């Protein structure tokens, strides 16, 4: 088990920072909820010019891991930011999420032709968030024989359409997903004590969206980018073994990944 050589890189706009050169703190939640997960990232003692480079909607990319196992934790945009003085240090903190400002602010009014399906409409609308559609496989694809007009806040229209199709919708790392609640993304990752599992799995009731609560497990491991929203992992512990889907969790600068799986 690797416990040394922790590394993180943080790109803010065109500037790249490394944890070897500057202190970086982060709390990166992830889930299958349809509201964007908002991460908090703090950097210490940036120059005035670097601070001036940070603005609302600035692109932020954070990667972290141990030794050679470095991977993406979040890719998103700045929603808010502030700089404060803590004793002798200057701390700049950003709230970051995928498509967060479009999510908060964008409105839509559009009419679709006869025969358009809910999947067609969702594909068209989600593109407005400026993300890549990684999976568009609605459970119930409704056809609108008379066409359909949508109007209002973009996020509300998308959430309503996803609900009507009995599908979950979420965005993660600049990608959007509309899929069955039981579906996940194969990661090929085996989580065991040899790959960073900490302690024993804890039995828990896991709630996902509007769906009923399921019996699942809460887990902790060394920070690992292979654990992400909806990832399918193989759990190999003394208490529990099998394939599980990650419903929610968080990566922290304590170099721990927490997760809830079903």
Instruction: Give 98-126 pLDDT, tens digit per residue.
Output: 999 999 999 999 999 999 999 999 999 99
Mean pLDDT along residues 21-37: 95
Dump pLDDT digits (tens) for 153-191. Answer: 999 999 999 999 999 999 999 999 999 999 999 999 999
Residue 43 has pLDDT above 80, yes or no: yes
Residue 157 lies in a domain: yes
Sign, CA torsion 89/84/102/206: positive
Q: Grade residue 200 by pLDDT with cuts at 50, 70 and 90.
A: very high
Residue that terminates a domain, selected from 147, 179, 211: 179
Lowest mean pLDDT among 99-103, 196-200, 206-210: 206-210
Pick the residue with more confidence: 207 or 165?
165
198 & 250 share domain:
yes
Query: Rounded to whole angstroms, what are the CA distances from 181 to 141, 165, 210, 229, 242?
Result: 15, 11, 10, 12, 19
Residue 27 lies in a domain: yes
Question: Which pLDDT does position 60 carry in this prediction?
Answer: 98
Residue that terminates a domain, selected from 77, 101, 125: 101
Q: Grade residue 211 by pLDDT with cuts at 50, 70 and 90.
A: low
Using an 8 Å Cβ cutoff, are 161 and 108 in contact?
A: no
Residue that terminates a domain, selected from 141, 162, 179: 179
Number of domains in the chain: 3
Phi-psi region for residue 158, left (φ > 0), alpha (ψ -120 to 50) or beta? alpha
10 & 84 share domain:
yes
CATH number at residue 165: 3.55.50.30
Residue 213 has pLDDT above 80, yes or no: no
Q: Grade residue 212 by pLDDT with cuts at 50, 70 and 90.
A: low
Using an 8 Å Cβ cutoff, are 116 and 164 in contact?
A: no
Dump pLDDT digits (tens) for 132-155. Answer: 999 999 999 999 999 999 999 999
Residue 84 CA, distance from chain mean position? 27
């Amino acid at each position: 088990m690797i416990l040394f050589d922790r590394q993180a890189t943080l790109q803010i706009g065109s500037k790249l920072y490394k944890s070897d050169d500057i202190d970086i703190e982060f709390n990166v939640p992830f889930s299958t909820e349809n509201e964007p997960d908002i991460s908090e990232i703090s950097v210490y003692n940036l120059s005035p010019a670097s601070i001036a480079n940070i603005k609302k909607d600035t692109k932020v990319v954070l990667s972290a891991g141990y030794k050679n196992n470095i991977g993406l934790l979040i890719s998103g945009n700045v929603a808010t930011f502030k700089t404060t003085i803590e004793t002798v240090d200057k701390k700049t903190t950003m709230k970051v999420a995928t498509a967060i400002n479009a999510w908060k602010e964008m409105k839509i009014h559009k009419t679709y032709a006869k025969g358009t399906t809910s999947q067609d409409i969702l594909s068209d609308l989600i593109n407005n968030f400026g993300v890549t559609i990684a999976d568009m496989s609605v459970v119930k694809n409704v056809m609108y024989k008379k066409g359909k007009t949508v109007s209002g806040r973009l996020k509300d229209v998308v959430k309503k359409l996803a609900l009507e199709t009995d599908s979950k919708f979420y965005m993660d790392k600049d990608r959007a997903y509309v899929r069955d609640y039981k579906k996940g993304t194969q990661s090929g990752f085996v989580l065991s004590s040899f790959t960073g599992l900490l302690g024993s799995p804890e039995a828990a009731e896991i709630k996902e969206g509007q769906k009923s609560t399921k019996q699942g497990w809460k887990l902790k491991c060394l920070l690992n980018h292979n654990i992400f929203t909806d990832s399918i992992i193989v759990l190999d512990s003394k208490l529990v073994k099998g394939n599980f889907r990650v419903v929610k969790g968080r990566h922290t600068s304590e170099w721990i990944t927490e997760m809830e799986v079903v």
